[in-house]
Chain A
Amino acid sequence: MFRYTKATAVREVIVWIITLAMLLPFYILIVTSLKSDEETLTTSAVAPPSSLDFSAFVEVLTTTGRNSIPMSILNSVIITAGSIFGLVLLGSVAAYVIARRTRRWTTITFYLVLIAIILPAQLGTVPLYIGARSVGLTGNAIGMILLWIGILLPLSVFLYASFFRGLSTEYEEAAVIDGATPTQAFFRVVLPLMAPATGTVAILAGLIVWNDFFNSLIFLGGSTTQTLPVAMYTYVGGLVSAWNKIFAVVIISMIPILAFYMFAQKRFIQGFAGGLKG
């Protein structure tokens, strides 16, 4: 009885109008970034640029010095990739042992991980900063990667453990009977079967690390190693009303995430909703 009627068509049109109105900030963002300095100040925010002017992007991408945007992009890529790699490697092997072995210590470890997910991170920030500073892990990418692995490991272990529990043990038993060592059985047989879990961990961790501002601000503060959000914050702080340049940085920071999102939006939406529910 629920059929596509005229009323449904009207509803569809109304939803589209509301959605487009909601996405208006993206339109303003794009047109403003393509305006010249003068046009940014003189024309209306919703007016398209009279001619496409990429000078704001050129200027942003040629910044140099401590808060150079290209360097900060490189730092963000290194830190994000390193964190994802560490979280997949350490998280998957730990979750495998915890999920497959039924000893008392694995159960205790699993609860330790679960409670760590609930535990808010705020209170630990000051001691972590002091600890990292005293061993020289602030202001560099290695310290930042270690910090992220520590912060997000509970999430990674939890996600992998729930996937492992849903996987029959027959795969690795067959591999071991065929002569594989436990290490080979895991890395050649089990981990490749875990591609959906790895994808979810990589998407969630990648988004959190790439978009993070707070932790980078504290743990990389004042150093020459800056991530893109912190460099953006410093760069924007030095500009007054140069909105075409500000928006050029903003767009550059959004492009990698949006590219991945368009490519795998279903996985993003499911991973986000499912992962954060844990």
Chain B
Amino acid sequence: MTVTIDENSTRTLTVPPRARRTPPARDRRKPLITYGHWWWALPAIVLVIGVHYVATLTGGFFAFTNWTGLGDWEFIGLDNFVRIFNDPQLLGAVWNTLFLAFGSVILTNIFGLLFALAINRMLKTRYILRTLIFMPVVLSPLAVAYVWKFIFQFNGPLNGFLGLLGLEDLQKVWLADPTWSIWAILITVVWQQTGFVMVIYLAGLASVPVEVEEAAALDGAGIWGRFWNVTVPAIRPSIAIATTLGIIQGLRIFDQILALTGGGPAGATETLATEVYKQAFSLGQFGFGSALALVLTIIILAFAILQHYVTRDRDAAGRA
């Protein structure tokens, strides 16, 4: 048996790169097809830059001027801010802004968490309850404020209820009382926002495995121990979101104040948001109004950045 080897069969054939017909390896960054057209993003970019960036920066510039919307203006440095921090009325507005923000956060979180814990497990009607308790959240704050304005009237239901209990001493003209009017606004806000906080906590509680709770209960942990050692650690991310979001919302409360008290009595319920509106748009003090808006913006931004960090930590913890 003879084996003939065709010498050509073993010859390696190298095609010089220049002569290759195969297409070059595709650029990884270039996809197979084009996704839309690049100019689809253009209207959005223009609108976002114009409405958010240009407007905000221009507003920040106005804050250092004495512009009144018409005619000449001068660059007056920090004069607007010196005026704000020397005016007891405006300092009161800063205080009221913080009071409403922190007050609403504390109360909505307490009530929201209690509702969430109460309806989280076992209740047969928990979805109906959730729908009902969340309902005020979707309504216009202005409309809600009118309902409460009626309740806080001197001859309204609240005083009527106090009279029924024999507590006539406590009856007040709630919305015209320098001490209590801000509390009336706070109650209105808390009533409307509790459902929102409850929903955030319900989402957090859904992530607590029932087995862990049962195990803790079998090991002899009481309700209180289970709450602090099982539930609270599990819903820590929800607490971070609910508190920071609540503060940011609370700092901008405006509609309820205008409807309930208009900032009165004698400026007792003015906040930075209502002062911005009054100075800039009622009095035409665009420069001074912008300075107030800048103070409010810096406070909001501080909490917004804080929120960004706490929610980012939540994502990192979730991945770990």
User: Which A residues fall within an 8 A CB radius of B?
Assistant: 1-4, 8, 11-12, 14-16, 19, 22-23, 25-26, 28-29, 32, 44-46, 90-91, 93-94, 96-98, 100-103, 106, 109, 112-113, 116, 118-131, 146-147, 149-151, 153-154, 157, 169, 172-173, 176, 182-183, 185-186, 207, 210-211, 213-214, 217-218, 221, 229, 232-233, 236, 241, 243, 246-247, 250, 253-254, 257-258, 261, 265, 268-269, 272-273, 276-277
Query: Least Cβ distance of A32 to chain B in Å?
Result: 7
Can you give 22 A-B contacts (C-beta < 8 A)?
A2-B121, A2-B213, A3-B122, A11-B118, A15-B115, A15-B129, A22-B133, A28-B150, A97-B36, A97-B37, A100-B36, A106-B41, A119-B56, A120-B296, A123-B290, A126-B289, A127-B54, A182-B33, A246-B150, A247-B150, A258-B135, A261-B135
Q: Which of A102, A127, A154, A253 has the most CB of B within 10 A?
A: A127
Q: Does B191 contact A (CB under 8 A)?
A: yes
Beyond A96-B35, A128-B55, A182-B33, 12 additional contacts (C-beta under 8 Å) are: A19-B129, A25-B147, A96-B40, A97-B38, A100-B36, A109-B41, A118-B304, A119-B301, A122-B300, A173-B33, A233-B259, A277-B245
Q: Which residues of B contact A1 (CB under 8 A)?
A: 214, 217-218
- With A11-B123, A125-B59 as known contacts, state yes or no: A147 contacts B51, CB within 8 Å: yes
Asked if B122 and A2 sit within 8 Å, CB to CB, the answer is: yes
Query: Least Cβ distance of A208 to chain B in Å?
Result: 10
**Cross-chain pair count, CB within 8 angstroms:** 268
Query: Least Cβ distance of B2 to chain A in Å?
Result: 54
Closest to B33 in A: A176
Asked if A19 and B135 sit within 8 Å, CB to CB, the answer is: no
Cα–Cα distance between A233 and B44 once the two chains are bound (Å): 33
Q: Which of B43, B150, B156, B286 has the most CB of A within 10 A?
A: B150
Asked if A120 and B36 sit within 8 Å, CB to CB, the answer is: no
Q: Which of A23, A121, A126, A185 has the most CB of B within 10 A?
A: A126
Asked if B140 and A253 sit within 8 Å, CB to CB, the answer is: yes
Cα–Cα distance between A250 and B123 once the two chains are bound (Å): 33
Contact segment of B3-11, B79-87, B176-184, B195-203: B195-203
Closest to A96 in B: B36
Query: Least Cβ distance of A227 to chain B in Å?
Result: 10
Cα–Cα distance between A157 and B43 once the two chains are bound (Å): 12
B 271-286 binary contact with A (CB < 8 Å = 1; else 0): 0010011001100001
Asked if A102 and B141 sit within 8 Å, CB to CB, the answer is: no
Asked if B280 and A126 sit within 8 Å, CB to CB, the answer is: yes
Q: Does B124 contact A (CB under 8 A)?
A: yes
Q: Which residues of A contact B308 (CB under 8 A)?
A: 118
Q: Which residues of A contact B305 (CB under 8 A)?
A: 118
Q: Which residues of A contact B280 (CB under 8 A)?
A: 125-126
Query: Least Cβ distance of B251 to chain A in Å?
Result: 8
Q: Which residues of A contact B49 (CB under 8 A)?
A: 112
Asked if B38 and A45 sit within 8 Å, CB to CB, the answer is: no
Cα–Cα distance between A225 and B196 once the two chains are bound (Å): 32
Asked if A45 and B160 sit within 8 Å, CB to CB, the answer is: yes
Q: Which 9 A-B pairs have the closest CB atoms?
A: A150-B51, A124-B55, A94-B44, A100-B35, A93-B40, A123-B59, A211-B140, A127-B58, A45-B157
